[in-house]
Amino acid sequence: MELYPSLTQCAILATSLKILLFPAYKSTDFEVHRNWLAITHSLPAKDWYYEKTSEWTLDYPPFFAYFEWLLSQAAKYVDSQMLQVQNLGYDSWQTIYFQRATVIFSELILLYALHRYIQVSGSKKTAHAAALAILLSPGLLIIDHIHFQYNGCMYGLLILSITFAQEKKLLLSGLLYAALLCMKHIYLYIAPAYFVYLLRAYCLSPHVVYHIQFFNCVKLGVGILIILTAAFGPFVYLGQIPQLWSRLFPFSRGLCHAYWAPNVWAMYSFTDRVFIYVAKYLRLPINQDAVNSVTRGLVGDTSFAVLPEITPSQTHILTLLTQIPALIKLFNNPIPMTFLGAITLSAYSGFLFSWHVHEKAILTVIIPFLLLCLNDRRHLGAFRPLAVAGHVSLFPLLFTVQEFPIKTVYTVLWLIVFLVSFDKLAPASTRARFFLLDRFSLVYIAVAIPLILYCSLIHGLVFRDKYEFIPLMFTSSYSALGVVSSWIGYQVVYFSE
Task: State the number of binding residues for other proteins (CB under 8 A).
Answer: 28
| Residue of 45, 126, 54 lying closest to 85 (CA atoms) | 54
- Whole-angstrom CA distances from 439 to 12, 366, 383, 384, 444 are 37, 21, 13, 11, 8
443 sits near other proteins (criterion: CB under 8 A): no
Considering only 66, 318, 416, 481, the residue that binds other proteins (CB under 8 A) is 416
Bridge partners, 204 (sequence order): 212
Smaller CB distance to other proteins: residue 15 or 303?
15
**Closer CB to other proteins, 176 or 452, in the complex:** 452
By CB under 8 A, the residues from 19 to 78 that bind other proteins are 19-24
CB of 9 to other proteins, least distance (A): 5
By CB under 8 A, name the one of 242, 285, 308, 405 that touches other proteins. Answer: 405
Q: Does 101 bind other proteins (CB under 8 A)?
A: no
Task: Output the smallest distance, CB 131 to other proteins, in A.
Answer: 14
Can residue 105 be called a binding residue for other proteins (CB under 8 A)?
Answer: no
Q: Binding residue for other proteins (CB under 8 A) from 1, 282, 432, 436?
A: 1
461 binds other proteins (CB under 8 A): no
Task: Judge whether 206 and 338 are in contact, CB under 8 Å.
Answer: no
Distance CA 129, CA 134 (A): 9
Nearest distance in Å: CB 83, other proteins: 23
Q: Decide: is 446 part of the binding site for other proteins (CB under 8 A).
A: no
Q: How far is CA 255 from CA 57, 291, 321, in A?
A: 21, 17, 18
Nearer to other proteins, 13 or 449 (CB): 13
3-state secondary structure of 256: strand
148 neighbors 30 (Cβ within 8 angstroms): yes
204 SS3 class = strand
- Say if residue 210 is exposed, middle or buried (CB neighbours under 10 Å; 0-12, 13-18, 19+): exposed
Return the number of the residue (129 or 451) whose C-beta is nearest other proteins: 129
Q: How far is the CB of 405 from other proteins (least distance, A)?
A: 5
Q: If binding is defined by CB under 8 A, does position 289 make contact with other proteins?
A: no
Among 148, 202, 259, 410, binds other proteins (CB under 8 A): 410
CB of 413 to other proteins, least distance (A): 5
User: Residue 469 CB, nearest distance to other proteins (Å)?
Assistant: 23
Q: What is the DSSP string of 312-368?
A: HHHHHHHHHHHHHHHHHHHHHS--HHHHHHHHHHHHHHHHHHSSSB-GGGGHHHHHH
Q: Select 413 or 449, whichever has its Cβ closest to other proteins.
A: 413
Sole binder of other proteins in the list 301, 402, 449, 488 (CB under 8 A): 402
Q: Are 101 and 31 in contact (CB under 8 A)?
A: no
User: How far is Cα 486 from Cα 365, in angstroms, rounded to an integer?
Assistant: 11
449 binds other proteins (CB under 8 A): no
Nearer to other proteins, 141 or 198 (CB): 141
User: With binding defined as CB under 8 A, does residue 17 bind other proteins?
Assistant: yes
Do the beta carbons of residue 306 and residue 288 sit within 8 Å? Answer: no
DSSP state of 182: T
Identify which of residues 82 and 419 has a Cβ nearer to other proteins in the complex: 419
Among 16, 92, 246, 252, binds other proteins (CB under 8 A): 16
DSSP state of 5: S
CB of 155 to other proteins, least distance (A): 23
Nearer to other proteins, 329 or 391 (CB): 391
Shortest CB 457 distance to other proteins, Å: 13
Separation of alpha carbons 139 and 142, rounded Å: 5
Sequential DSSP letters for 139-171: HHIIIIIIII--HHHHHHHHHHHHHHHHTT-HH
Give me the residues that bind other proteins (CB under 8 A), please: 1-2, 4-6, 9, 12-13, 16-17, 19-24, 401-402, 405-406, 409-410, 412-413, 416-417, 420-421
